Amino acid sequence: MRSTDPGGRVQPAHPGDPKRIGPYRIIGRLGSGGMGIVHAALDPRGTRVAVKAVHQPLAQDPEFRARFRREVALSSRVQGPCLVPLLAADPEAAGPWLATEYIPGPTLDRHLAAHGPLVGGSLYAFASGTAQALAAIHRAGVVHRDVKPQNVILSPAGPRMLDFGIARASDGTSVTRTGIMTGTPGWISPEHYRSGTSGPAGDVFAWGALVAYAATGRLPFGAGAPDVVAFRILSGEADLEGVPQALRELVEKALSKTPDTRPTAEEAALHCAALFAAGTTQAGLPGSAPTLAEAVQAQWTVPEVEDPAWAAPPSRGRKRLLFTVAVGAAVAGGLVGGLLALPAAHGRPPGAAPSGAAPGHTAAAVSGTSASPVPAGSGEPPSPAAGPTDNAPTLATWRQARAAQTPAENDARPAMGTGAWLDPVAYPDQQFALTFHQPRGEVYIASGGQELDGGTMRELARLACLGLRGLRGAYPDLPYSTYVIVDTARRGGPAVIWSDNFLTNTTCSASVTDRTTAPRAEQATDWYPLATGFAAAQIPSHDPDEIRIADRIATAIIKDWNADPSGSRAGRLSHDNLSVGFDPANRVMYVWADEPRWDGATRAEWARLASLRSCRELSGETTAHWPYSKYAVLINGDSGGDVFLRWDSTGSCTV
């Protein structure tokens, strides 16, 4: 369970968060996930600690309790370098929790998204350190079973492997749900796919994939639908282009289809250490040859970034430019707020988008050749990327773009890897072309053959962003900052469906609205909700009117939904899973539910009810200075896939 700020920074505590858990004083949040919330805390001596608190519905499940006890027992058995030590736990508490040492730093996937692949000594140190961690786990008689980039933190002292949420004893004893395949697609061994079980050799397979990913920034078996990835793992060869030759042979052995031919984690750690031990000794470590842990630290170059939030609880007394109210203790379930705030904090990098472009990502459906706003009801939605100017990419600017000419442009396509959207097995009819508009600093990705669905579009956006960020690392003078996706197979004609600045989107997050279809009747055409606006809506508010009205609207929606006389509505609402917030910059109120499991019909019914109540309540607000007349309703997905369902302005309220 890990959903944290990209750099492991402390986020503000939410309303309803505990002040203390066990002996630890809570000062904020580090993240959240499906299992619970990770709090930033201090022990009585002021030592920084991460406390994982289990969600109450899970705490009341006896089967989950048994698994959590098992996790605590397994974690207490594992000691060694490059691991996150367990400090304390109480699996029998009313709210079960465990505390570990706080490890600052981004996860591997986020570091690669921001800085590109690991190179040189850092890569060898990463390979050795993670292999050491697995060796320690295996010596304790435990199998990790979820080795993946999201479970490795790149701390200033070296890589750290974490999350034993699905670990089991290597003797086969475990507490997991019958019939559930544990692990993450792309990081599951061939034998695990075949038999549903995996031992230490399965961890080594995932380690080989992890090292290849760290060295190249690409998934060694590509991306796409789980069954397509599984087929490649079972029958295909890993993409190891770019892995240094000294490591490649070891990685190839680790990725062998046969468990018996893979090295052990101990052997892999020793092999990696041997690759740079001589250079480390010459670098000045005193005495005899360094230990493996010393060798890793000597070659590691990830800098430490101090977080002032640890010094004291975040202040709530100062005025803020952006206001919101999170009604109850709703968990956001994604990181869009923290991620989108980063570019503003660091300024605009060289070559960034024109000043008229809106920050963050933009999902658009532009079927004309102009980005100028069009009158409501015209049937042609404007580009949200354009904001108040006409700088957004259009079909006209796409047609002006030319084919690749320079070495950097010719390298752009291979830099984007071989995701599912390029896979002839998964998408046999897909066509793909790259063109360049240097005066505008834009790279155009035109997809044809078959219309892009929302999931494929987001995957294409993420991989394009990652690839172009890596390309800029190889070509620092690359004159491009924005990529644009054009769907040429779309019903109704070609359309610009995505635009993003890959320099400012440092994590290549793609968790924004999928607006690949024209607005429906209940969706306004003169404005669009934006990911940046939703991010603003999640910042705690101090405005009394916003707090009062948000509470009134949330309470009314909850009452309306739960009062269903037919009893057919799935999922009850409460202040724990429904929130209302405000984006004062664009004067939009956002209403969101943390119910990603709802089917389409349930989402549509909830959106209709929430929109009607929001419209009526906003229309009835008589405060003279009340600035809000626009509202948006969305589902906040627990994987970061936020889906805007309805948006409009107050008026007749007849939705």
The rounded distance, in Å, linking the Cα atoms of 268 and 260 is: 14
Across the strands, what pairs with 100?
50, 86
Tokens, residue 396:
């006209």
Contact 579, 592 (CB under 8 A): yes
For the purposes of burial, counting CB atoms within 10 Å of the CB of 60, is it exposed (0-12), middle (13-18) or buried (19 or more)? Answer: exposed
The rounded distance, in Å, linking the Cα atoms of 251 and 218 is: 14
* 442-448 sheet: strands from edge to edge: 361-362, 495-501, 482-487, 442-448, 431-437
- For every residue of 168-183, DSSP letters joined together read EETTS-----TT---S
Selection from 614, 644, 543 nearest residue 584 by Cα: 543
CA atoms within 13 A on the CB side of 481: 19
CB atoms closer than 10 angstroms to residue 180: 8
Selection from 123, 406, 130 nearest residue 276 by Cα: 123
Active site residue 146: yes
CB atoms closer than 10 angstroms to residue 185: 19
Of the candidates 146, 163, 487, 642, the residue annotated as catalytic is: 146
73 Cβ contact list (under 8 Å, min separation 6): none
CB atoms closer than 10 angstroms to residue 439: 9
CB atoms closer than 10 angstroms to residue 356: 14
3-state secondary structure of 32: strand
3-state secondary structure of 609: helix
- Distance from chain centroid for Cα 635: 16
SS3 string of 41-98? EECCCCCEEEEEEECHHHHCCHHHHHHHHHHHHHHHHCCCCCECCEEEEECCCCCCEE
| 285-to-9, 294, 484, 572 alpha-carbon distances in Å | 32, 8, 49, 61
For the purposes of burial, counting CB atoms within 10 Å of the CB of 13, is it exposed (0-12), middle (13-18) or buried (19 or more)? Answer: buried
Selection from 485, 579, 466, 583 nearest residue 532 by Cα: 583
What are the catalytic residues?
146
